[in-house]
Amino acid sequence: MRILIVDDSSTMRRIIGNVVQQLGVPKEDFDEAEDGVVAWKLFQQNNNYDVVLTDWNMPNMNGLELVKTIRAVDKKVPIVMITTEGGKGEVITALKAGVNNYIVKPFSAEILKEKLDGLVKG
């Protein structure tokens, strides 16, 4: 399973990467990006991701813009928004933009595992 992890905090990328590794995904099978611009470049270059996990608030291109950009060319790839934005309005905005699931920080590893399992099986 190829995963793209997008977050401007290197600590968050490592936390998410750690959970993903616990799920049995080897380190070589996930890429990291510190903002939407880098993520979009990687997405175009590789075009083989099974899941995209993205933060919302990031410099250069935020997560919402990234979701819209990806959805313009790829309607299928599952996208999970992992963010501190916990307002109902934000969740609805993200869903409308095309995210498949939404996780509010701080989250437990179990939550991410469940959501990823659901996406991969679904």
Closest CA to 57 of 12, 16, 2, 18: 12
CB 69 to other proteins: min, Å:
22
Who's near 29: CB < 8 A, 6+ residues apart? 1, 2, 3
Q: Is 109 in the site for other proteins (CB under 8 A)?
A: yes
**HSE-up of 46 (CA within 13 Å, CB side)?**
20
Stretch that binds other proteins, among 31-39, 43-51, 66-74, 107-115 (CB under 8 A): 107-115
Residues 12-51 as x/- pattern, contact with other proteins by CB under 8 A: x-xx--x---x-----------------------------
How many residues belong to the site for other proteins (CB under 8 A)?
A: 27
- The angle formed by the CA atoms of residues 115, 43 and 25, to the nearest 5 degrees, is 45
Binding site for other proteins (CB under 8 A): 7, 9-12, 14-15, 18, 22, 57, 84, 86-88, 91-92, 95, 101-109, 111
